[in-house]
Amino acid sequence: MKTSSIKIIVLFCLMFVTLSLNRVYAQQGYLTNVNDKGVIIDGYDPVAFFTEKKAVHGDNKYQTTYAGAVYYFVSDKNLKNFVKNPEKYAPQYGGFCAMAMSMGHLQLIDVNLFQVVDGKLYLQRNAKAVGMWKKMGPKMVIMKANENWPKVQEKYGSFLTAAQLNDNLDLSLAAAKVIAGVGAQYAKEHRAPGGAIAIVDAGGHLLYLERLDGTFPAAAMVAYEKARTAAMFRFPSKKLEDGIIGGRGSLVTVGYNMLRGGLPIYFRGRVVGGVGVSGAASADQDVEIATAGAHAAFEQGTN
């Protein structure tokens, strides 16, 4: 067999494995800094940061999907190099600002402000971030960012892509059904005696409600109120319950549900809705089911 034929077969195998991994990554869910088309780093070629030492805009005719994001490239050569080893070229922290990540925050980036350290690509949001990066030292920033990245993924854990929102960045009905479905599946797998799962938009308005068989009727309204509370306050409903338990009784006057089981749903750091659960075996299981729903993973392009 000729050498060229062997290279083609090897490349094909690598592409097949990479594409298979992409499907797994998308199902697991990744927090990525993408635009309304699901494209990461504003369509700039990630390989060019290494080879050209500058930001070069890619062409959508050379594209692939990795970890829930679409990547553009300037050439077929760069595309193939990325497919061979995507972890080498993909930006760290889902394409969000590295300096901000070291402080536990999500910030958008300026593609012209980047550093390659130990063979990894790091992007920054502005000149101030670059200055802080230099002052603290890359190793210290990277160490802190690496520690914070899993926590940030957990906090903004809905892992939505642009496909799960409409043009106004509102949570779509299709996404709400997926979130409720994931929560319901978790409830069944963990032998919950029942459960009502409510999904609301950013304004606290009901988008979708799923009530498992055997759930007492009032659970539906309680689940909705928990979801509404989380969306409107921009934090878990448990925080209000903890406040009352801690002695701040005046919280009962604010007119929202004070029980555990309501969580906000995030997209790129912005609250786009809420999920609330009531009627499971306990308040803790309500929270577990809501968390499973809020952490629902979406494949890029799912409607």
- Length of the chain as a residue count: 303
Query: Does residue 167 surpass a pLDDT of 60?
Result: no
Average pLDDT over residues 19-30: 37
Here the tokens at position 134 are 């230099």
State the residue for tokens 């994001």: 69
> At 266, which helix (H) or strand (E)?
strand 262-267
The CA-to-CA distance between both ends of the chain, in Å, stands at 45
Alpha-carbon gap, residue 167 to 299, rounded angstroms: 18
**pLDDT tens readout for residues 172-203:** 899 999 999 999 999 999 999 999 999 999 88
pLDDT of 23 reads 30
* E strand residue ranges, 67-219: 69-73, 110-117, 120-124, 196-201, 206-211
* Percent of the chain topping pLDDT 70: 78
Query: Does residue 12 surpass a pLDDT of 80?
Result: no
Q: According to CATH, where is 3.30.450.150 located in the chain? A: 162-294
User: Which bin fits 85, alpha (ψ -120 to 50), beta or left (φ > 0)?
Assistant: beta
Q: Contact 153/145 with Cβ under 8 angstroms?
A: no
**pLDDT tens readout for residues 52-80:** 999 999 999 999 988 878 899 999 999 99
pLDDT of 25 reads 33
pLDDT of 219 reads 93
Residue 27: closest CA among 159, 127, 137? 159
CATH number of 162-294: 3.30.450.150
pTM reported for the whole predicted model: 0.50
